[in-house]
Amino acid sequence: MVSWLGILLRTLRSAVRTRRELALENLALRQQVAVWKARQPRPRLTEMDRIFWVFLSRLWTGWRHSLQVVRPETVVSWHRQGFRRYWARKSRHQSGRPMISTELRDLIRRMSYANPLWGAPRIHGELLKLGLTVSQATVSKYMLRPRRPPSQAWRTFLKNHAKDLIALDFFTVPTATFRVLFVLVMLTHSRRRLVHFNVTDHPTAEWTAR
């Protein structure tokens, strides 16, 4: 009784469905029959079978009623995996300026090595004269830059050259009679020893130089 009722319900449902839905259902059933026949005793779906059901689930809303080989949740998980793979592959191909050839990169390096005083604008201009189209920013990227020793700190510099350095100060001093005197003082850095001093009330260029 139940089987006849089920057959009757499926028949009535088929009567109201469109030709497109019937064609898709027929296609889904034929694909599953082929899977059962080709992979006995236990059907195993291949990559093409998974792709088939993912596309069918996008084309037909009633695909769940005809699916028997796997659960509908499995098809949904296949679709999500394919979506993640698609975006992972697309993200690896970054858009932007295409890379230059290996020969051109080597040429830029050789030119910068052979001409250490040339900057990126000069090398860029020479490449344009040779008919090689490349941006100045790309030239600057692949240039060989000479290694420079790290600069020493100010404290280290003073420590290494203290015996050769002097400190100089030029200041004014008011007197008791409201005169202004100009004082020049020189000290050595190594021992803070007074090297020279002079005082005048009218400084001139000649006095300062002497």
Angle among Cα 85, 87, 88 to the nearest 5 degrees reads 60
**In the chain, where are the structural domains located?**
18-89, 102-142, 154-209
Q: Which residues pair with 168 in a beta bridge?
A: 186
**pLDDT tens sequence across 88-106:** 776 665 555 667 888 899 9
* Percent above pLDDT 90 for the chain: 7
- Please determine, for residue 43, whether its predicted confidence score (pLDDT) is greater than 60: yes
**pLDDT tens sequence across 139-159:** 998 898 777 666 777 788 777
Distances (CA, A) of 133 to 54, 100, 109, 123, 197: 47, 10, 16, 12, 65
Mean pLDDT of 52-60: 75
| pLDDT score at 1 | 43
Write the DSSP assignment of 1-28 as a string of letters.
Answer: -HHHHHHHHHHHHHHHS-HHHHHHHHHH
This prediction has a pTM of: 0.31
